[in-house]
Amino acid sequence: MKNKIQQKFSASAKNYDRFSSLHREIADKLLARVIKEPVPSAFLDVGCGTGYFTALLKGNFPQSNIVGLDFAQGMIDAARARHDGIDWVLADGNNLPFAKESFDIVVSNLAYQWAGYLIRVFNEARRVLVPEGTFVGTLFGYNTCQELFQSLDEAKPGAFKFSRLPDEAQVREALDLSGFKSFNVNSENIKVEFKDMYELIAWFKSIGANNLSREGYLGPEAISRAADIYREKFAFLNGVGATFEVIWFYAKK
Ligand SMILES: C[S@@+](CC[C@H](N)C(=O)[O-])C[C@H]1O[C@@H](n2cnc3c(N)ncnc32)[C@H](O)[C@@H]1O
């Protein structure tokens, strides 16, 4: 599963920036939170993708050492080609290749939902933070694309099962169990307009994020029925709406 996720993100790296305006919008908001922190000597950005957020950090904290880390080779290559002055590291958030207490702040924008076992990746973030260090970021949560899941299920009940993304309570529990001293977790739902269900699925593919594990087979007829259900139930503006739940976390070691 992990290799499949890496490959899909790697393959999407060339197109990623054209289709990731939602990610950039959240990154800009995340920056507004991060710049309230005292200037750190070292930052780590986990799941940096093509480096949009990492480069914002560099622009705002030119004196800090900044490391962008991603496990997809294509993403790291794209980031390195686009942005100077940042250390780009190909590695997995589950096994960070750094000594303990290497960073003052660990950040992450919309990556941990793919990282598998949250306690493990949060534990790694905690290990590489200095005492009192800050862990701050976002991930997509459980309600993300609920309209899609509901439409697919209504088209052929029980035929198709997705493993859903973590919810707010699971994020809170993972921060607690991975040993963070204090933390805050909250979430917001953002509704995005797509032409139809097919455009939503194509968008997921274009950013490499079509990798939720799933079981079952729907077939073209049920897919077309799901698209009709989606259009009828979830009309939004001139097309259909898709919810993206963004879970925000802020924790102290
Ligand atoms: C949706 S993109 C977000 C990229 C970037 N942070 C942004 O805001 O545009 C998620 C990124 O997380 C990376 N990723 C997912 N799981 C990871 C893991 N376990 N270790 C390192 N990177 C991971 C993917 O390769 C992908 O580049």
Of 40 and 160, the structure prediction assigns the larger pLDDT to: 40
Residue 22 pLDDT: 85
Nearest to 249 by CA among 63, 111, 57: 111
Q: Which domain holds residue 58?
A: 2-252
Nearest CA to ligand 1 atom 16: 115
Ligand 1: residues whose CB is within 6 Å? 9, 20, 23, 27, 47-49, 52-53, 70-72, 75, 92-94, 109-111, 114-115, 209
- Split into its structural domains, the chain has a count of 1
Whether pLDDT at 53 is above 70: yes
| Under 8 Å between Cβ of 35 and 62 | no
Q: What is the pLDDT of residues 61-96, one digit of tens each?
A: 999 999 999 999 999 999 999 999 999 999 999 999
Q: Are 129 and 226 in contact (CB under 8 A)?
A: no
CATH of the domain at 119: 3.40.50.150
| Neighbour-count burial of 74, counting CB atoms closer than 10 A to its CB (0-12 exposed, 13-18 middle, 19+ buried) | buried
For 115-129, 134-148, 210-224, which range has the lowest pLDDT when averaged over its residues?
210-224
pLDDT at 158 over 90: no
The separation between the first and the last C-alpha atoms of the chain, rounded to the nearest angstrom, is: 30
Closest CA to 129 of 152, 150, 89, 100: 100
Listed in sequence order, the DSSP H helices in the chain are 2-19, 21-34, 52-60, 73-82, 118-128, 146-155, 168-177, 197-206, 219-233
Across all residues in the chain, what is the average pLDDT?
90
CB-CB contact of 15 with 207 (8 Å): yes
Question: How confident is the model over 91-110, as a mean pLDDT?
Answer: 97
Are 16 and 49 within 8 A, CB to CB?
yes
pTM, two decimals, is 0.91
3-state secondary structure of 160: strand
pLDDT at 210: 60
State pLDDT tens for residues 163-182. 778 999 999 999 999 999 99
- Residue 208's pLDDT band (boundaries 50, 70, 90)? low
Q: Quick one: average pLDDT of 45-69? A: 96
Q: Could you tell which of 18, 25, 76, 114 is best to mutate to test the pocket of ligand 1, judged by most ligand atoms within 8 Å of the CB?
A: 114
What mean pLDDT is predicted for residues 139-167?
87
Radius of gyration of the chain (CA): 18
